[in-house]
Each structure stands twice: as C-alpha cells, then as structure tokens.
Structure 1
Amino acid sequence: MIKQPLNDTHRAPEDKAVSGETIGELINLAGRQRMLSQRIVLHVLLAAQGHEAATGIAKQCLSIFAATHEDLVSGNDRLPGVFCEALRQLYFGSQRADERIRRFIGDAERAISLISTHSADAPAAADALVNQASPLLELLQSITLGYQNEMRNVERAATQRDAQLAEQLGRISMQANIVAINARISAGRAGPYGREFAVVTSLLADIVKEMERMIHGVVRAREPAPRLR
C-alpha cells in the first residue's frame, strides 16, 4: 500500500534544527534514489521483455525506493523528515515532488503486477514507466540539490557561530591581558609584599595565553583546506 501524500496538517509548522551529519545522510539517501529509479525502470523493461530474474530485482529496488521516500518525507527514529520550508516547497509546492514520486511508485507496482501475470497490458505499462524515467531523474536531482543547499546553510551558520565565539574570546582575552599587566605593575610597586600577588598575576597570564591558543585553534579549524590543482 502506498501512503497518501502528506497534507498541511502533517507538515511541521516550524523548521527543525538538523545536524550536518544528519543532512549528509539525507544527501546520500536522496542520491541513491536517483540510481534506484533508473534500476526500477530498466528491470521493469527487461521483465516485460521476458527476463525472469528482472522482475524480482525490480520489486526489490522498488521496495527500497518506496521505503526511502517515506523516510525522507515522514522521517523515522533517526531522520527528521521534511525539516525546513525550502524542502516543504520542493516536496509539496509547485514541483509536487512527493505526489509525482508516489505516482511513479504506484505505476511501477502496477507494471510489475501486470508483467507477473503476463497481462496483455504489461508492455504498455512498462512503456509508460519508461516515459517517466528522465523527468523523474531530473526531479530527484533537484531534491538532492535541495539537501546539499541545506548542508551549505548549516556550514555557513557554524562558521558564523565560530567567528562570533572567537571574537568574544578575543575581547575577553584582551581585557584579561590588560588586567594581568596592570596587576604585575602593581605587584612590582608593592615590593616584597607583592610576591604572592605576583604569583596570582602569573597564573592569570598563563590563563590568557591558553585562551589565545584556544582562539587560534577555533580559527584554524574553520579555515578551508587548500585545494589540489
């Protein structure tokens, strides 16, 4: 049974926070859908031409394709489903990706069923599926690009957060450094009475150095790797 497309009552009213790791998995699944769609069409065509093993392969690929689409749209224990407005527009907006993909799944199921029963309508059903191959591939490619765009958004947001953190740490480090210098001057003026105070200022200076090291580490971690030419 093919589940009905999600309507407005099932869509998340707000975007969900999703990690880059999760989006990476979604990109891989979306990319695999492209390959599976072509395998389904190929093996349905081969099955219609009398290749017995092709029917089983087509069924297996279709089962994976349909389950993956459900995971991409509705989510599961690990995946968030359609988690942002850009993807909602892609799946349920003008491109009607969800509707078109579910129609393809239904047409593929029908074609496989007709081929399995040696129906006279099987060749026409297979041809109809072949005609969907290129438009569907383009649609699945646009879905993959949609997830890739979300990955870039996550990376940009992470870079911006790190830059803000480094800036805040830099300001704190500068202020602490000024305090440490002034404290050393005061300790020097205090003579022998300032020795214990000098120890404290030395520790403060070490803390400042460690903060500076952390800042440089954050900046270096976010610097893009050099590209090979």
Structure 2
Amino acid sequence: MNMRETIPDISAEIVGELINLAGRQRMLSQRVVLHALLGLRGDAAALVVARDCLDTFAASHARLVEGDDHFPGVFSTALRELYFGARKADERIRAFTKLAAHACACLERSIEASTADSVCEAAVTELTTAATPLLELLQALTQAYQDELRSVEAAAAKRQAGIVDELASISLRANIVALNARVAAARAGQFGREFAVITAELAHVIGEMDRLVQGVVGKPETRNSAPERHSGFRNQRMHARLAG
C-alpha cells in the first residue's frame, strides 16, 4: 500500500474534517449491519442502503489511510501506529468491509431467489459479531484524530509565538535606528529637518508594527503561551517618542 509521507504543517481545518470523516465511519458501520439484518428478512430496499453505506465506508477509509488531493492520509506516527501497529486498525477495517460485502452478495442472491439460506444467515451473524469490537476501534481512531488536532493547534501557536518574537526583535532594532537618526538630525539643526521627517515616519511604521504584534499576542491561541514575552513593546515606543 502506498502511504503519503508525513505532513508536519497540516492545518487544523483539515484535521477537523478528518475528525468528522472518522466519526462518520462509526455511523456507517452500524447502518451496514442494521440494513443487512433487514435484508435478511427479505427487505430489498434495506439491502440497497446497506450497499451504499458500505461503499461510502470503504471509500472513506481509503481517504483516511491513503489520502487524496484534499486529505494527507496517515500523517503522524501515532496514527500510523494505530492503523498499522499492534491494533491493526487498517487490517481489521478492511476485514469488516470484506465480511459486509460477502453478506450483501449472499443477501442479493437470496432475495433474487426469494429464499434465505444458512449461508446468508451465517454471513450476517459473522458481520454482526464483528460490529461491536469494530465500533470500539473506530471510536479510538476518532479520538486519535482529536488528539492530533490538539497537537496541530499547539504547534501553530508555537510558530505564531516565534513570529511575534522575530517581529519584536525587528521592532527593537528599528527603534534603535530611529533613536540614533533623530539624535543625528537634532545635532544637524536646520540641515537635518528633512532627515527628521524621515525618522518620524520610521517611528510611525514601528508603531504600526507594534500594534500588529499586539493584535497577534491578543489572540486566544497565543495569549496564554507567551503572556509576558512582549511587555517591552510599550517601552520601545516610548523610546522612539523620546528620541523625537
């Protein structure tokens, strides 16, 4: 099986969609079993629903594991261990899919012949028996994707905090430049007036940068991660004003 490489920068939005997709698998597995049982009683319409649910279940599993143009497939070590490690989620889900396909095929033949046989009953019984442990496994997978979402959000907050740190460093250096430039302009007297205008504009740009950084720091995902990291920004702005 071809699996995509791990994608470290997967977005929280994509992981949220994967959570929904994984959660839907639980409902689909139960609908397959329910409508197979109804099909065993001769309900042809229920058997059509069982087939549709099974097709969707199998396609969704392929998207979760192998990925496509939208989803990354198994993108983390924890998910890879769950799907292909000791719990063998991928193998067990595919085995359930085969059981369901076999049961549906038996039921289709039974309905065409207008009679149920022991083979169909055995196939549906085996499918029903497999449903409960599978449901627990699908729940564990959904929980694993929820854990991944928390990790992705934490990593995004860390990256954002790093960007804020970098902006703070740039702002500090720019303030020093503005301070030195204004001192030089003041010493130059009337010959430094044009230069003073430029340094005033630089101070304005620094102020805009500070407001941008404060806006980022104020967001929920970064506010708690670095509450005191940028307390020097107000002092930097004050230095720039004093330099004028």
TM-score norm. by structure 2 comes to 0.82
Between the aligned partners of 1:147 and 1:93, the Cα distance in structure 2 is 16
Question: Where does structure 2 lack aligned partners over 5 or more consecutive residues?
Answer: 111-116, 224-244
2:163 to 162, 165, 177: 165
**Matched position secondary structure for 1:117:** helix
**Residues 105, 81 of structure 1: CA spacing in aligned structure 2 closer, same or farther, 3 A cutoff?**
same
1:96-115 residue pairs with structure 2 within 5 A?
96-115=88-107
What does residue 147 of structure 1 align with?
A: 145
* Post-superposition CA distance 1:11-66 (Å, at most 9, x none): 45x52232222222211111111110011111111111232211111011001101
Write the distance in 2 (CA, Å) between the matches of 1:143 and 1:223: 26
Q: Which amino acid aligns with 1:145?
A: Q
Count of residues in correspondence between the two structures: 216
Instruction: Tell me which residue corresponds to 1:43.
Output: 35
**Displacement, 1:220?**
2.1
Unaligned runs of 5+ in 1: 1-5
Aligned match of 2:228:
none
Distance in 2 (CA, whole Å) between partners of 1:162 and 1:84 is 21
Larger Rg: 2
Q: How does 1:1-229 map to 2 (within 5 A)?
A: 6=1, 10-12=2-4, 14-17=5-8, 18-118=10-110, 119-223=117-221
Q: Name the aligned partner's letter for residue 209 of structure 1.
A: G
Corresponding letter in the other structure for 1:72: L
Distance in 2 (CA, whole Å) between partners of 1:72 and 1:11 is 10
Asked if the contact 1:34/1:137 (under 8 Å) is kept, the reply is yes
Contact conserved, 2:74 with 2:80, CA < 8 A, in 1? yes
Q: How far apart are 1:222 and its partner, in Å?
A: 4.3
- Local SS of the residue matching 2:219: helix
Contact 1:159/1:222 (<8 A) preserved: no
CA-to-aligned-CA distance 1:59-113 (integer Å, 9 cap, x gap) = 1100110111111111222222112221111111000001100110111111111
Q: Alignment identity in percent?
A: 51
Residue 55 of structure 1 contacts residue 112 of structure 1 at CA under 8 Å; is this kept in 2? yes
In the alignment, the residues of structure 2 paired with residue 174 and residue 16 of structure 1 have an alpha-carbon distance, to the nearest angstrom, of: 35
Asked if structure 2 preserves the Cα contact closer than 8 Å seen for 1:29 and 1:68, the reply is yes
Q: Partner amino acid for 2:56?
A: I
Inter-partner Cα distance in structure 1 for 2:154 and 2:44: 50
Verify the 8 A CA contact 2:3 2:65 in the aligned structure 1: no
Counterpart in the other structure of 1:3: none
Deviation, 1:124, is 2.0
1:194 Cα deviation after fit? 1.3
Look up the equivalent residue of 1:205 and give its one-letter code. A
d(CA) in 1 for partners of 2:188 and 2:221? Answer: 45
Tell me the CA shift for residue 219 of structure 1.
Answer: 1.4
Distance between the aligned counterparts of 2:180 and 2:7, measured in 1?
Answer: 48
Instruction: Calculate the TM-score normalised by the size of structure 1.
Output: 0.88
Taking structure 1 as reference, are residues 21 and 186 closer, same or farther at Cα in structure 2, changes over 3 Å only? same
Q: Do 2:40 and 2:107's aligned partners in 1 also have CA atoms closer than 8 Å?
A: yes
